[in-house]
DNA sequence: TTGTGACTTGCAGTCCGTT
DNA sequence: GAACGGACTGCAAGTCACA
């Protein structure tokens, strides 16, 4: 029902795996809690654009890349 | 401090003006509160990606376009 | 290493009206 | 038409223990 949530979840996990990072590694770099990253990757929440910006910067991509289908 | 918020604010206002729509018109089409659109355009809040999706769809653009610098 | 349930806090988001 | 106000509800934000 909430497509955007799932798109972010998939892109987040895909980009993180491409880096070969664990959730722990990303949580450290982005300065957000590891379990919260897990919750985003399982579509539990609809992240804010501020959170999107933090994660994108840690991953070295544009925030918009996290929204691409 | 929160750059993403400002980027969304500017893109939202720019795209809305390109359509020649008032905040009222956009709020009706996107089914979100008019005063909230005002608050987003003045960088008062950091919208969720779900909200971003609703606004992008109403404006006929990709959600990522609202995050472009 | 990751997912989940539980919990608290703060802000997103709505609804009213006024400037 | 747009900004701004208070008051309210619900969910994102943030953290923890445990499976």
| Domain carrying residue A18 | 3-58
What is the chain B residue with the closest CA to A3? Answer: B50
pLDDT(B1) > 70:
no
Whole-model pTM: value is 0.90
Percentage of chain B lying above the pLDDT 90 cut: 93
Q: Nearest 5 degrees, angle CA A66-CA B24-CA A65?
A: 5
Residue B38 maps to a domain: yes
Residue A66 maps to a domain: no
Which ranges in A1-69 belong to alpha helices (H)? 3-19, 23-30, 34-41, 49-59
What is the domain-level CATH number for residue A42? 1.10.260.40
pLDDT value at residue A35: 97
What DSSP state is assigned to residue B45? S
How deeply is A48 buried, as exposed, middle or buried, from its count of CB atoms within 10 A (0-12, 13-18, 19+)? buried
pLDDT value at residue B2: 75
Total number of domains in chain A: 1
> What distances in angstroms separate CA B22 from CA A22, A27, B9, one per listed residue?
45, 40, 15
Q: List residues with CB under 7 Å of strand D.
A: A 32-33, 35-36, 39, 45-48, 50-51; B 22-24, 35, 38, 41-42, 46, 48, 50
Nearest to A67 by CA among B33, B30, B1, B48: B48
pLDDT value at residue A2: 77
Residue A23 maps to a domain: yes
The integer distance in angstroms from the CA atom of B38 to the C1' atom of D7 is 18
Q: pLDDT of B17-45, one tens digit each?
A: 999 999 999 999 999 999 999 999 999 99
pLDDT(A46) > 80:
yes
pLDDT(B11) > 60:
yes
């Amino acid at each position: 029902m909430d497509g955007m949530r799932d798109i972010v979840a998939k892109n987040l996990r895909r980009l993180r795996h491409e880096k070969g990072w664990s959730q722990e590694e990303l949580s450290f770099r982005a300065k957000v809690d590891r379990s919260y990253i897990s919750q985003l990757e399982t579509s539990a929440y609809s992240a804010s654009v501020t959170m999107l910006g933090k994660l994108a910067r840690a991953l070295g991509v544009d925030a918009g890349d996290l929204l691409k289908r």
